[in-house]
């Protein structure tokens, strides 16, 4: 009996990772990011006192964030994924420490830390999902993940603004630190392991430019990127130009805030779209969603300033269709990427987010030179129709 070793009971009792595991991680992460999503631009304006300089600041951060994303596979290759995920959690917390300095350099570094942390968390979480969830269950898992995040993206921005205006800068950013540390504890509680099969062999290129070349050379990955880019462009437009439209048409800031909150609340419909994808197939469902989004955007652009509230309704209907792409779109990448190069391709794939934050404002600045604000929604509708056509034409029927 003296040589008998009693192992802790809770270790073998911990259930394997499943869809709820990743949904809970993503929900807590979403709270850590959503809480100050509305505070950061306000704080930047308070420091710079100029909208154009604020836009330049965001552009600089987006470009630097794109570079960080492309180099992320080198970190994953050098360190275990769990340490990269851990670093992502800590970067969110460290970013808030810089934000509370309320200086230009503190704002810049804080935004960079936030982008780096989000990139690390997004890429590593996608790798864990591809390791632990079967390909046939991707749609259900992703729809559940989006649905759980609804609580964060609906209540998080309001919570952040409330803390910032009522209790000050330390309260708002302190909440982020709490959520980031809670995410770190939850992650280590699940004890997710690294799958050696996703590690690239020594012959595989680690150079970001080589990774881009390999990504572009695979048609299905290009299509997966386009699907993600199109839906992300909608959210960029919805979050920026939706509230701006409400203010310009005289409906007020509150109407703009309610529009964004209502759009975020629709994330719960991801469960519905997940079931639709399983019933009718991902290809049909995503194509239908893209053309539905395009129709709503054309209607919103057509009505425009003549009936602002009706335009808002059309935008919300467009968000409803976009939720389908949130729930199902990433499965096009997860089911197409090769197991031995998941880390490299996941990093390139995530650049859709950076490009969707850079491209629409540049295009809209040209369009608005000749047309009214409603033209923004028509332009986005054209992109949605384009993405819908390519989804129907080139996405395999097996999806």
SS3 of the chain = CCCCCCCCCHHHHCCCCCHHHHHHHHHHHHHHHHCCCCHHHHHHHHHHCCHHHHHHHHHHHHHHHHHHHHHHHHHHHHCCHHHHHHHHHHHHHHHHHHHCCCCHHHHHHHHHHHHHHHHHHHHHHHHHHHHHCCHHHHHHHHHHHHHHHHHHHHHHHHHHHHHHHHCCHHHHHHHHHHHHHHHHHHHHHHCCCCCHHHCCCCCCCCCHHHHHHHHHCCHHHHHHHHHHHHHHHHHHHHHHHHHHHHHHCCCCHHHHHHHHHHHHHHHHHHHHHHHHHHHHCHHHHHHHHHHHHHHHHHHHHHHHHHCHHHHHHHHHHHHHHHHHHHHHHHHHHHCCCCHHHHHHHHHHHCHHHHHHHHHHHHHHHHHCCCCCCHHHHHHHHHHHHHHHHHHHHHCCCCC
Tell which residue, 292, 314, 323, has the closest CA to residue 376: 314
Structural domain spans, the chain:
16-192, 208-398
Q: Which residues of the chain have pLDDT under 50?
A: 1-12, 196-203, 205
Q: Do domains 16-192 and 208-398 have the same CATH topology?
A: yes
What span, in angstroms and rounded, lies between the C-alpha atoms of 100 and 59? 22
- C-alpha 393/C-alpha 287 separation (Å) is 9
16-192 in CATH: which number?
1.20.1250.20
Helix axes 104-132, 81-99, angle to 10 degrees: 150
Residue 202 burial (10 A CB sphere; 0-12, 13-18, 19+) = exposed
CATH 1.20.1250.20, applies to 208-398: yes
Q: Tokens at residue 144, please?
A: 């559940």
pLDDT of residue 253: 64
pLDDT at 203: 41
Query: Which pTM value belongs to this model?
Result: 0.77
Any residues with CB less than 8 A from the CB of 373 and at least 6 apart, and which?
241, 244, 245, 248, 304, 305
C-alpha closest to that of 37 among 236, 182, 208 = 236
Distance CA 275, CA 356 (A): 27
């Amino acid at each position: 009996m003296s040589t008998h070793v009693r192992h802790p009971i809770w270790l073998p009792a911990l259930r394997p990772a499943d869809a709820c595991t990743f949904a809970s991680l993503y929900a807590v992460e979403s709270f850590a990011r959503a809480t100050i999503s509305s505070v950061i631009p306000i704080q930047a304006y308070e420091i710079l006192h100029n909208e154009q300089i604020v836009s330049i600041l965001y552009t600089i951060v987006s470009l630097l964030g794109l570079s960080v994303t492309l180099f992320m596979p080198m970190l994953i290759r050098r360190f275990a994924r769990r340490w990269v995920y851990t670093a992502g959690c800590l970067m969110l917390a460290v970013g808030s420490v810089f934000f509370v300095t309320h200086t230009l350099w503190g704002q810049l570094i804080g935004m960079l830390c936030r982008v780096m942390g989000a990139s690390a968390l997004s890429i590593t979480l996608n790798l864990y999902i591809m390791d632990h969830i079967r390909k046939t269950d991707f749609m259900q898992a992703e729809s559940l993940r989006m649905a759980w995040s609804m609580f964060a993206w609906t209540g998080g921005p309001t919570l952040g603004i409330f803390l910032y205006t009522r209790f000050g800068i330390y309260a708002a950013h302190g909440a982020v630190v709490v959520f980031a540390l809670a995410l770190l504890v939850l992650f280590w509680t699940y004890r997710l392991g690294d799958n050696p099969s996703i590690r690239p062999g020594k012959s595989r290129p680690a150079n970001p430019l080589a990774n881009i070349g390999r990504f572009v050379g695979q048609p299905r990955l290009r299509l997966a990127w386009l699907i993600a880019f199109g839906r992300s462009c909608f959210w960029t437009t919805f979050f920026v130009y939706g509230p701006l439209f409400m203010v310009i048409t005289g409906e007020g800031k509150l109407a703009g805030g309610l529009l964004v909150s209502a759009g975020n609340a629709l994330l719960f419909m991801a469960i519905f779209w997940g079931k639709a994808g399983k019933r009718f197939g991902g290809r049909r469902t995503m194509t239908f969603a893209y053309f539905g989004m395009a129709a709503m955007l054309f209607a919103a652009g057509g009505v425009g300033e003549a009936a602002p509230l009706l335009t808002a309704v059309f935008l919300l209907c467009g968000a409803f269709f976009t939720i389908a792409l949130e729930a199902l779109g990433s499965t096009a990448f997860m089911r197409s990427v090769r197991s031995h190069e998941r880390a490299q391709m996941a990093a390139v794939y995530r650049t859709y987010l950076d490009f969707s934050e850079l491209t629409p404002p540049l295009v809209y600045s040209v369009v608005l030179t000749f047309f009214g604000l409603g033209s923004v929604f028509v332009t986005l509708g054209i992109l949605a129709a384009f993405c819908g056509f390519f989804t129907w034409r080139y996405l395999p029927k097996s999806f």
